[in-house]
Amino acid sequence: MGDMEVMTTGIDVQNNKSSERPNNFGPALPSFLVQLPEKLRKCLKSQFKRSTKADDKANSAIPITGKDKTSSTALEVNLEKQIQAWKENPVWADQSPDIKVSVPKGSLCNLSVKVDVGLPPDAVYDIVTDPDNKRVFKNIEEVLFRRVLVDEGLRQVVELEQAALWRFLWWSGTISVHVLVDQNREYHTMKFKQVKTGFMEKFEGCWKVEPLFVDENLCHPFRPKTTADYMSCTRGKGRMGSTVTLEQLIQPSLVPPPPISWYLRGITTRTTEMLINDLLAETSRIRGVFDTKSSNEDLGIYHGVSEGCEVDEICDIKKRWALHRRNAKQCRRRCL
């Protein structure tokens, strides 16, 4: 009875009405009832702590979003200064892209492209990731579908479907390319991978844009290792260029035998070269030195195209390839 009185007293502290109820369930149940209020208190306390922690995390997420916006604004301001440096000194000679072709087993080809560009990384990245970049890259005929799946400020995941031009012997047309694109502005990378297999078993690759210190000689004998060091030693007047690399793996569902595979590999290489030359033409236009007359003089006009026609108006891929090859030869002659 002494134990029962203690238990009853414990219940009375939490709830005065408990003492009025009879106990007919033996000693085990009263013991549980005694501990129940304490367990409830601990449970509520733990839940309150979790809620507080969740609120803290939510509140701590607000400055991060603000930081992303601030950093984005800082990037825009910095980009304006870098573009202004190029407008003040637009002297730059575009070089032909360095294209290496390898043939992994079971694939048509793996392309590795590298080229130096006369614009800062943010400007080049804007061109590559622009949703309306079909005005720049002429092998893109139409954007059929585009949807942003993930948006984390500096990083986006985009589902994209484009109609790309193709030409084989006497035939030509378009092919639908459906890819998932992972864009990361912080690292200036854009990875793409085919969503569904069809005519192409594998179509994947990555764009990467890295800073190039164009006026590094102004820092002599000091050699800057970071962008901050470069801007400091040039007092903000140093031009920032870019080194653009493109890795691309192409593997059709059925790899044709030679010599058809050789021909297709050549077409793929020339199409990629045309893509890079389109990028170089756009960077020249942004620098403010690209107009119809200078472009015709520098690139050379393909025989049969009038001198009054702009390069962007040359819609025939075959003529554009011939024009770009001629441009590459002239660039090499000037360098020699």
Least confident piece of the model among 137-141, 191-195, 224-228, 307-311: 307-311
SS3 content of the chain, % helix, strand, coil (to 5): 50, 25, 25
Residue type, 215: D
Using the 8-state DSSP alphabet, how is residue 21 labeled?
Answer: S
Q: How far is CA 135 from CA 138, 148, 281, in A?
A: 7, 21, 12
Helix, strand or coil, per DSSP, at residue 257: coil
- Contact yes or no for 166/175 (Cβ under 8 A): yes
By C-alpha distance, which of 110, 244, 109, 119 is closest to 190?
Answer: 244
CA dist 229 and 227 (Å) reads 5
**What is the model's pTM?**
0.65
CA dist 150 and 147 (Å) reads 9
Q: What residues does each domain of the chain span?
A: 91-137+201-290
Which ranges constitute the DSSP H helices of the chain?
A: 2-14, 28-88, 121-129, 227-233, 260-287, 292-299, 317-335
Confidence of residue 70 (pLDDT cuts 50, 70, 90): very low
The torsion region of residue 235 among left (phi > 0), alpha (psi -120 to 50) and beta comes to left
Predicted confidence (pLDDT) per residue in 265-307, tens digit = 988 898 899 999 999 999 999 887 644 334 343 333 333 333 3
Predicted confidence (pLDDT) per residue in 2-28, tens digit = 444 444 444 343 444 444 444 444 444
Predicted confidence (pLDDT) per residue in 20-63, tens digit = 444 444 444 444 444 445 554 555 455 545 544 444 444 433 33
Bridge partners of 247? 112, 206
- Contact yes or no for 35/7 (Cβ under 8 A): no
By C-alpha distance, which of 331, 274, 249 is closest to 137?
Answer: 274
Which residues, 6+ apart, have CB-to-CB distance to 10 below 8 Å? 34
Bridge partners of 240? 213
The torsion region of residue 292 among left (phi > 0), alpha (psi -120 to 50) and beta comes to alpha
Residue type, 40: L
Kindly report the number of other CB atoms within 10 A of residue 250's CB atom. Answer: 20
Q: What would be the CATH architecture of the domain defined by 91-137+201-290?
A: 2-Layer Sandwich (3.30)
Residue 76 has pLDDT above 70, yes or no: no
